[in-house]
Structure 1
Amino acid sequence: MNVVSTVDPRDGRRRETDLRETSRQELAAHISRASEAAEWLAGIGRVGRAALLDEIAASIESRRADLVATAEGETGLGHARLDFELTRAVVQFRMFGDVLRDGGYVEAAIDHAAETPLGPAPDVRRMLVPLGPVAVFGASNFPFAFSVAGGDTASALAAGCPVVVKAHPSHPLTSQASGDAIAAAVRRQGGPEGVVAIVHGQDAGLALVRHPAVRAAALTGSLAAARAIQAAIDERPQPIPFYGELSSVNPIVVLPAAATERAGQIADGLFASFTGSGGQLCTKPGLAFVPSGPAGDELLGSLRDQVASAGGAVLLNERIRDAFVEGEARLERAGAQVSARPDIGSATGFTVAPVLLEIDISRFSAEIADECFGPLMVAVRYDEVADLDAVLAAVPPSLTGSIHAGTDDDRAAVRRVADRFAATTGRIVFDGYPTGVRVSWAQHHGGPWPSTNSLHTSVGATSIRRFLRPLAWQGVPDWLLPEELGDGFREIPRRVDGRLEPGEPAAGHDPGGDAAPG
């Protein structure tokens, strides 16, 4: 099989690794072991899986220095960003331990046998159970939080599903090192080899989702990658759910009074949001609607100054760099003009200059609303808030929509923009910026298409729901029921005969709370 290579995007140098692309035989062995590991994950139960997730978090934390250094050499994202991202990965595993101990996620419901208006009714009990082995595709822009040690892996393991991760070619060594950290934790908990496995190579990734034992797939990545994965899934006799978080332009609307009250502050926030991490975040704002007039001029003047004095941004790989260059040219052909771009001289590796483009709302078109992944944002100038109605209707659905409003902005106008975003996004941000996705119980990271499934989130406690399915037991003897459905079990919230009963956690149990921001 082909040797797996890695590239340092800071200088573009490629070097070979000791890794090889995964063969069909190796893939089959990984999936076979994963199927066996599903029994072990089921056998240790919720509390056992919570202990496993805590052990994984500790294992990743103990290897922090080596993991961050490896990722820095493969992504160029910088030590501070990667160190923070590794903390996010650790937090996610611990949060799902809390989700498991809380137990409400199983949605346990019990309807005892009873006489009803429709006659005698049987005893029926229902809860959510794991799907089985799942495929996770690592993301290029998050070597920890959306890759081998990411939230998809954490939520799938919490659900009781073994995971086979297709490593992203932008960071194969980081993926392998993360997998080693997880495997060490599994061994310490007495678990088998197949709880988490890693495969390399595009062919292995597509063969993975075709395998009949794989029961779901998750991706944070490009539209092209999603279409290839979906095409492979479509070849299966039995379809499986595919959870993809894909492109997103994440529009921001700055209303007139907000620009008047805090032009400089908003400019600072916009600059940090669209250039942070090289603009390589799925929540990066690609469009900012800024009012015409002196306040909007002040805002954009400040933003231009910051962009013009910025340094170069290192992009993750050559493909992303080339797509960024082509995307900027495409937007300029569509009518957007360069408002600010620093001179970064002769850049090495995959380094590009951040770009601020500008266009009048009268020239806005669907092409202007296309995502350009990287440090680029288009400022759209408008005269009247009413002008936004038709233009926002032409902006494609996104993960987020943000509104900056001032004390004198008309509430009806604010509500009109909010209602538009409620229909087309998964998260509305008010007087803030979409980047920096909080890892918490209330978070939703998803949306209408191009999210492949608008019912679920890929971040936060409820992302576990993607890897579960409902199962009902009718007239089943007590000894055969899961413990969560037994009459004497009181440790988790359950709906019994139509009434919600709060759980009574075991003595000394702390149900946990909010996780740190991500």
Structure 2
Amino acid sequence: MSDQPVFTPHGKHLIAGAWVAGDTTFASEPAHGPVHQFSVGTPALVDEACRAAEEAFWTYGYTTREARAKFLHAIADEIEARAAQITEIGTQETGLPEGRLNGERGRTTGQLRLFAEHILKGDHLDRRHDSALPDRQPLPRPDIKLVQRPIGPIAVFGASNFPLAFSTAGGDTAAALAAGCPVVVKGHSAHPGTGEIVAEAVHAAIESCGMPKGVFSLIQGGKRDVGQALVQHPLIKAVGFTGSLGGGRALFDLCAQRPEPIPFFGELGSVNPMFLLPEAVKARGSDIGKGWAGSLTMGAGQFCTNPGIAVVQTGPEGDAFVAAAAEALKGAAPQVMLTDGIAKAYKDGKARFDGRNAVEPVLTTDSEGRNAAPNLYQTDASNYLQDHALGEEVFGPLGLVVRVSGADEMETLARGFEGQLTATIHMDEGDTALAQRLMPVLERKAGRVLVNGFPTGVEVSDAMVHGGPYPASTNFGATSVGTMSIRRFLRPVSYQNLPDALLPDDLK
């Protein structure tokens, strides 16, 4: 047992260093445990937080990399100091098991510390220098230096499926703070208590490091007007979002319609197709089927990298793959989903497949309440390409097998996919020629291409890309995971013939 006291949320917003109560409240909807009341966010609170963030930027945007690295480490330390309390309320609110919450907390603190070390190296600054050439003909060249600078206050939307790693102090917040940008977080109403305790950790780090109060604010709950007010506030310079295609696209459009349009970095989901090549299926199709079932049901299928579609040729080897996947899925117990709304959406997604003439049910189950049981369906390439609904993400443990007649139809199907976060090839040495044929297609369709693995599990590292062509994300040149994600919150500035006294410290 932990010696940490039980965490009881106070239900307030954190606005520029002050815990602020709202006029109205909403009740949390935990998977188990006590219900708590939380203040409802308002556009007025958004305005207050954004103004405080802008004021903080004039100090925080000009801090040293060493000071920001110390701050990021302090946030990570404060989160770990609340480890047991975070796990307790996180499991209550989301229904996720302790092991998953503990692992996600480690990923969250790891991201913060990774960015701390990253900015100390200075690689993200992309420093360049063209020395003056006063004697160049026909015209002299001035002295020009370039460095990446922070852009200003950032809006971050907490994600439903990652209460820690993609929420209050998750990857977007870590990248923005590392860049030198204050953050205003709109907390997700699925886990407001988890958001509050993490915000307390950030607040403690602000106090211990002497950072400006407005460098971080958390606004809880709220209706659509809160999200709209946040992305349209004139002091917000970019938005980080992980969520549904519908919600993300609506916010993206609002960002584009502003008098000053701003970038909206939305990660909107994906069906993450897997292509099973003939030799691999012949040699180990059953093992791949079992592995797919495990990936498909991991976390009740509530990962944006969940491999929802498997492409395999017709024939007995493909049949064995499907049978093995179905058998493994039969043994998977129902799992609690993150919210009642997500559970309902999963049932609605399953209903799209039931009764469709072109879709064969391989394994169908009934999910009750907030629990989700796995489902498996099968169709062919021709029907898939003609029915757009079959390619829409179902957030949960539902898989679709698409059968193809051969290599030509497999390539045609690959070309027909929309933008994806990931694309996977299962292959043996004898499949190399077909894999080479698919690669030019898949690297245009996905942000991450992998071989002989499963895309669930996103490594937080320098080389990771978690993004892809629309609708996987709204900005194909960006990633929301890994150190390259800091680039979203920086812009290049050139300095021509400036004396050292006027240059940013990182150029001196």
The amino acid across from 1:120 in the alignment is: P
2:19 aligned partner = none
Of 437, 441, 462, 2:462 maps to 441
2:65 aligned partner = 46
2:5 aligned partner = none
State how many pairs are aligned.
479
User: Once the two structures are superposed, what CA deviation does each residue of 1:288-334 show, in whole Å capped at 9, x if it has no partner?
Assistant: 01233332222222211111121112222222222211111212344
The amino acid across from 1:390 in the alignment is: T
Matches within 5 A, 1:50-129: 50-114=69-133, 115-129=135-149
Of 273, 281, 290, 2:303 maps to 281
Of 404, 419, 443, 1:422 maps to 443
* Offset, 1:484: 2.1
Of 360, 374, 394, 1:337 maps to 360
Give the distance between the partners of 2:130 and 2:381, measured in 1 at CA. 58
* C-alpha contact 2:62 2:180 (8 A) present in aligned 1: no
Matches within 5 A, 1:246-261: 246-261=268-283
Give the distance between the partners of 2:495 and 2:185, measured in 1 at CA. 33
2:405 aligned partner = 383
User: Once the two structures are superposed, what CA deviation does each residue of 1:100-122 show, in whole Å capped at 9, x if it has no partner?
Assistant: 11101011111222133441111
* C-alpha contact 1:312 1:351 (8 A) present in aligned 2: yes
1:301 lines up with 2:323 in the alignment: yes
Give the distance between the partners of 2:455 and 2:282, measured in 1 at CA. 22
The amino acid across from 1:412 in the alignment is: A
Query: With structure 2 as the length reference, what TM-score do the two structures score?
Result: 0.91
The amino acid across from 2:322 in the alignment is: L
Identity %: 39
Compared CA separation, residues 408 and 234, structure 1 to 2 (3 A): closer
1:354 aligned partner = 374
* Structure possessing the higher relative contact order (Cα contacts under 8 Å, 6 or more residues apart): 1
* Offset, 1:124: 1.3
1:431 lines up with 2:452 in the alignment: yes
Give the distance between the partners of 1:51 and 1:157, measured in 2 at CA. 11
1:266 aligned partner = 288
* Offset, 1:483: 2.2
Compared CA separation, residues 235 and 363, structure 1 to 2 (3 A): closer
Give the distance between the partners of 2:489 and 2:389, measured in 1 at CA. 36
The amino acid across from 2:418 in the alignment is: P
Give the distance between the partners of 1:242 and 1:362, measured in 2 at CA. 35
Of 178, 194, 201, 1:181 maps to 201
Unaligned 5+ residue runs, structure 2?
Answer: 1-22
* C-alpha contact 1:400 1:426 (8 A) present in aligned 2: yes
Residue range with higher mean Cα deviation, 150-159 or 225-234: 225-234
Q: Secondary structure at the match of 1:110?
A: strand
* C-alpha contact 1:336 1:359 (8 A) present in aligned 2: yes
2:476 aligned partner = 454
* C-alpha contact 1:310 1:342 (8 A) present in aligned 2: no
Of 327, 336, 340, 1:318 maps to 340
1:6 lines up with 2:28 in the alignment: yes
Q: Secondary structure at the match of 2:28?
A: strand
* C-alpha contact 1:360 1:381 (8 A) present in aligned 2: yes
* Offset, 1:40: 2.9
2:171 aligned partner = 151
Residue range with higher mean Cα deviation, 316-325 or 460-469: 316-325
User: Once the two structures are superposed, what CA deviation does each residue of 1:448-480 show, in whole Å capped at 9, x if it has no partner?
Assistant: 111111111110001000000111111111111
* Offset, 1:235: 4.3
* C-alpha contact 1:140 1:316 (8 A) present in aligned 2: yes
Q: Secondary structure at the match of 2:63?
A: helix
Query: With structure 1 as the length reference, what TM-score do the two structures score?
Result: 0.89
* C-alpha contact 1:274 1:376 (8 A) present in aligned 2: yes
Residue range with higher mean Cα deviation, 182-191 or 135-144: 182-191
Compared CA separation, residues 375 and 204, structure 1 to 2 (3 A): same
Give the distance between the partners of 2:132 and 2:382, measured in 1 at CA. 66
User: Once the two structures are superposed, what CA deviation does each residue of 1:199-234 show, in whole Å capped at 9, x if it has no partner?
Assistant: 121322211111111111010111111122124324
The amino acid across from 1:340 in the alignment is: L
Unaligned 5+ residue runs, structure 1?
Answer: 487-518
Give the distance between the partners of 2:74 and 2:250, measured in 1 at CA. 35
2:184 aligned partner = 164
Q: Secondary structure at the match of 1:119?
A: coil
2:14 aligned partner = none
User: Once the two structures are superposed, what CA deviation does each residue of 1:118-141 show, in whole Å capped at 9, x if it has no partner?
Assistant: 411111111110010000001100
Residue range with higher mean Cα deviation, 449-458 or 307-316: 307-316
Give the distance between the partners of 2:389 and 2:284, measured in 1 at CA. 30
The amino acid across from 2:359 in the alignment is: A
1:499 aligned partner = none
Q: Secondary structure at the match of 1:8?
A: coil
User: Once the two structures are superposed, what CA deviation does each residue of 1:64-116 show, in whole Å capped at 9, x if it has no partner?
Assistant: 11111111111112111111111110110010011111101011111222133
2:498 aligned partner = 476
Q: Secondary structure at the match of 2:156?
A: strand
* C-alpha contact 1:341 1:354 (8 A) present in aligned 2: yes
Q: Secondary structure at the match of 1:440?
A: coil
Give the distance between the partners of 2:264 and 2:136, measured in 1 at CA. 40
Give the distance between the partners of 2:215 and 2:286, measured in 1 at CA. 50
* C-alpha contact 1:4 1:172 (8 A) present in aligned 2: no
Residue range with higher mean Cα deviation, 389-398 or 209-218: 389-398
